[in-house]
Amino acid sequence: MDNYRVYLTGVGGQGTLLATTVLAEAAILAGHNAVASEVHGMAQRGGVVESSVMIGDIKSPIISDGEADVLLGFEPVETYRAMRKCSAVSVVVSNAVPIIHYDVAIGRGSYPDVEKLFDFIRCRVKQLVILGAQTLAKQAGALLAANIVMLGALARSGALPIPKEAFEGTIRTRTKARFVETNLRAFELGFATL
């Protein structure tokens, strides 16, 4: 089979690490080999959290610039900042809801126009999918399920050889029991966005 490299980026607290594990487990459930890498520790204190999942016959746990097949961005500026990981053949799935940077909050910077960021990305990659993950997560019953909404949209994009059922199976076994129903709803709402 082909190999796939998925780069995930977001802000501490958005649940990107759970999404990373669910994605890797879903790939394994679908019969593939998977390797993932995470950043722990100081990097998480409100900073950018980056992780990656490799699916197929790949040993390296990280992704070099220009080599991501899929970019899953949990925050628009972070999606844009991570564009160096993409090339013309990448698929980008991004949340459209900003999390304001502290620089911006204290008036030392300004948050860029999200539409312009997406316009730049759209004409440089194979496919760009945008969704309002928090809105859908609220609809599913928990704002914190935005990470699972993102996985729903990723599943629907068809960019990876992982069937919907493998994601759902992993959500059932790998997320907290009392959140499973909410998470499955969140996944479904993300899946229905395209």
In the complex, the residues that contact other proteins under the rule CB under 8 A are: 11-12, 20-21, 24-25, 28, 33-48, 57-67, 77-78, 80-81, 83-88, 90, 100-107, 109-113, 116, 119-121, 124-125
Compute the least distance from the CB of residue 173 to other proteins, in Å.
11
Q: Coil, strand, or helix at residue 54? A: strand
Nearer to other proteins by C-beta: 61 or 192? 61
Nearer to other proteins by C-beta: 122 or 192? 122
Helices (H), the chain: 16-29, 76-81, 102-105, 114-122, 133-140, 146-157, 164-174, 180-191
Compute the least distance from the CB of residue 179 to other proteins, in Å.
16
Structure tokens at 162: 């992982």
Nearer to other proteins by C-beta: 116 or 172? 116
Residues 6+ apart with CB under 8 A from 114: 76, 96, 98
Q: Coil, strand, or helix at residue 131? A: strand
Nearer to other proteins by C-beta: 100 or 192? 100
Burial 112-143 (b: 16+ CB within 10 A, else e): eebeebbeebeeebeebbbbebbbbbbebeee
Compute the least distance from the CB of residue 184 to other proteins, in Å.
21
Nearer to other proteins by C-beta: 115 or 181? 115
How far apart CA 5 and CA 70 sit, in angstroms, is 6
Compute the least distance from the CB of residue 78 to other proteins, in Å.
8
Compute the least distance from the CB of residue 26 to other proteins, in Å.
11
Determine contact, residues 116/96, Cβ cutoff 8 Å.
no
